[in-house]
Amino acid sequence: MEKIIFHIDVNSAFLSWEAVYRLHILGETTDLREIPSAVGGDIKKRHGIILAKSTPAKKYGVRTGDTINDALKLCPQLVLVPPHYDLYETSSKAFMEILKEFSPCVEQYSVDEAYCDMTGTIGLYGSAVVAANLIKDRIYDELGFTVNVGISSNKLLAKMASDFKKPNLVHTLFPEEMEKKLWRLPVEELFYVGHATKKKLHALGINTIGELARTDLNILRAHFKKYGEVIYAFANGVDVSLVASETPANKGYGNSTTIAFDVDEEGAAKMILLSLSETVCTRLRADSVMATVVAVSIVDFEFHHASHQMTLFSATNTTNEIHKAACRLFDELWDGLPVRKLGIHTSKVVKGDSIRQLNLFDMNRYERLSKLDVAVDNIRERYGENSIMRAIFLNNRIYHMAGGITPEKRKPNYKEGIK
């Protein structure tokens, strides 16, 4: 039986979810999807980029990832609204729940897209296109936003199909349709081909996906090595990956934060590292795992990037131990230039019940710290992350759990939009 794979992608997800919320919950009358608008980060905190834009904004040349200043130059009348991550999580969950009613095998690829293995279930609906339209219309009727559905025999072609004309449409892209629907497209529209690869391919005289598919594989190997084999396979519609309904375990945990001010004091930098350690270790403990390697990354005020890592004596998930390692790495790495961004990353993760290397000088400190961290996690889970914090963060402009999604982004103040 031929595989039938759907790729379902929410159209301008963040903006669509925000538009639906404002129309149906806040009672606004203007639909953000119908005017030049965008969801943007916070300029004051240096997160000033476009996260999602409307179709009218796209016509002005506004692109996801543009700085807010650049977007406003292209479209001075652009309506900007702040991100609302609690809403995105809720909308994504509702979106996934509908998909699971249509297929027993759903792989969430990101917050706003998923794959469904519909093999064996198509007979319930008559055809793949009928089933896809049922999913699309059900999502719109119940949740108020639109999706595109791509249909094929593998994940790659299904994803490529869902990127065809938008919004609110169903497209097929089976192997026999590739020459007509896929090969005529510019090579940069192929999944996995970025700007740098596009330039190299153009230099070789390869401008379309079809030309890439017909290129001698040895030429691609010579210029791109293993990566050349990947893009050659993709151009020919070859993809052997399966829809996986179970999420693979994390191989590493990390977090970073762009700081609202240039940090030129060691004490302030180490406080930020402590706040990052809080969030990273909370996630490690939530998944009952420990990290063996810790790394620190720094971006200075001139956007120079540097990183350094170390292997711990024993795997750990305690905040104090990760912070201590991070501070040591920072001392070895920092050259004194003002810091714009800091990050902590962990790797070589082991299960939490793994045997811990005994340390003669530990004096049972790990056991005490571990119990303290668990107690703090329980309090925060029950009463919110701000219910308990270290005294050093009281009345401090440094938030005690940095990185990730801050409270104001989860529940924005709608009276104080960006513009």
Q: At 61, which CATH number?
A: 3.40.1170.60
Single out the catalytic residue among 18, 113, 278, 321.
113
pLDDT for res 207 = 97
The pLDDT-based confidence of 46 (bands split at 50, 70, 90) is: very low
CB 151 within 8 A of CB 129: yes
pLDDT for res 91 = 94
Q: Do 374 and 401 fall into the same domain?
A: yes
- Within a domain: residue 213? yes
User: What would the pLDDT profile of 317-376 be if each residue is shown by its tens digit?
Assistant: 999 999 999 999 999 999 999 999 999 999 999 987 665 665 555 545 778 888 999 999
28-42, 142-156, 205-219, 348-362: range with lowest mean pLDDT: 348-362
Q: Do 307 and 372 fall into the same domain?
A: yes
pLDDT for res 172 = 98
User: What would the pLDDT profile of 97-115 be if each residue is shown by its tens digit?
Assistant: 999 999 999 999 999 999 9
Element (H, E) at 195: helix 195-203
Which of 84, 118, 139 marks a domain boundary?
A: 84
30-34, 133-137, 409-413: range with lowest mean pLDDT: 409-413
Q: Do 227 and 257 fall into the same domain?
A: no
Q: Do 357 and 227 fall into the same domain?
A: no
Q: Do 391 and 341 fall into the same domain?
A: yes
Which of 29, 55, 84 marks a domain boundary?
A: 84
Relative to beta strand 79-81, strand 37-40 is parallel
Percentage of residues in the chain with pLDDT exceeding 70?
A: 92
- The boundaries of the domain holding residue 19 are 14-84
Which tokens is 86 given?
Answer: 């609690």
Percentage of residues in the chain with pLDDT exceeding 90?
A: 73
Q: Do 388 and 273 fall into the same domain?
A: yes
pLDDT(122) > 50:
yes
Which of 167, 201, 235 marks a domain boundary?
A: 235
Number of structural domains in the chain: 3
Please give the Cα distance from 145 to 140 (Å, whole number).
Answer: 5
Which tokens is 316 given?
Answer: 């750990």
pLDDT for res 355 = 59
Please give the Cα distance from 90 to 27 (Å, whole number).
Answer: 19
The percent helix, strand, coil of the chain (3-state, each to 5) is: 40, 20, 35
pLDDT for res 123 = 85
Fill in the amino acid letter for 173. Answer: L
Average pLDDT, the chain: 90
pLDDT for res 418 = 47
- Within a domain: residue 388? yes
Of the candidates 312, 310, 252, 313, the residue with the CA atom closest to the CA atom of residue 284: 252
In the chain, count H helices and then E strands.
Answer: 15, 12
User: What would the pLDDT profile of 228-275 be if each residue is shown by its tens digit?
Assistant: 999 999 999 999 999 987 777 778 899 998 887 889 999 999 999 999
Q: Do 228 and 290 fall into the same domain?
A: no
Active site residue 113: yes
Q: Do 266 and 218 fall into the same domain?
A: no
- Within a domain: residue 230? yes
- Within a domain: residue 19? yes
CA distances to 159, 188, 225, 227, 229 from 218, rounded to whole Å, are: 27, 21, 9, 12, 9
Max mean pLDDT among 32-41, 157-166, 406-415 falls in: 157-166
Please give the Cα distance from 352 to 355 (Å, whole number).
Answer: 8
Q: Do 309 and 227 fall into the same domain?
A: no
Q: Do 201 and 331 fall into the same domain?
A: no
The pLDDT-based confidence of 398 (bands split at 50, 70, 90) is: confident
Which residues in 281-379 belong to E strands, given as ranges?
289-300, 305-316, 339-351
CB 260 within 8 A of CB 44: yes
Please give the Cα distance from 345 to 294 (Å, whole number).
Answer: 6
CA distances to 26, 31, 167, 369 from 23, rounded to whole Å, are: 6, 7, 19, 48
- Within a domain: residue 58? yes
Please give the Cα distance from 321 to 142 (Å, whole number).
Answer: 48
Please give the Cα distance from 373 to 263 (Å, whole number).
Answer: 28
- Within a domain: residue 164? no
More confidently predicted of 42 and 261: 261
292 by DSSP, 3-state: which?
strand
Q: At 286, which CATH number?
A: 3.30.1490.100
- Residues 174-189 have a mean pLDDT of 97
Q: Do 231 and 256 fall into the same domain?
A: no
- Residues 383-388 have a mean pLDDT of 90
CA angle at 141 for the pair 140 and 142, rounded to the nearest 5°: 95
- Within a domain: residue 39? yes
Which tokens is 173 given?
Answer: 């892209």
pLDDT for res 40 = 87
Please give the Cα distance from 365 to 415 (Å, whole number).
Answer: 48
Q: Do 321 and 399 fall into the same domain?
A: yes
Task: Identify the burial level of 259 via C-beta atoms within 10 angstroms of its C-beta, where 0-12 means exposed, 13-18 middle and 19 or more buried.
Answer: buried
- Within a domain: residue 242? no
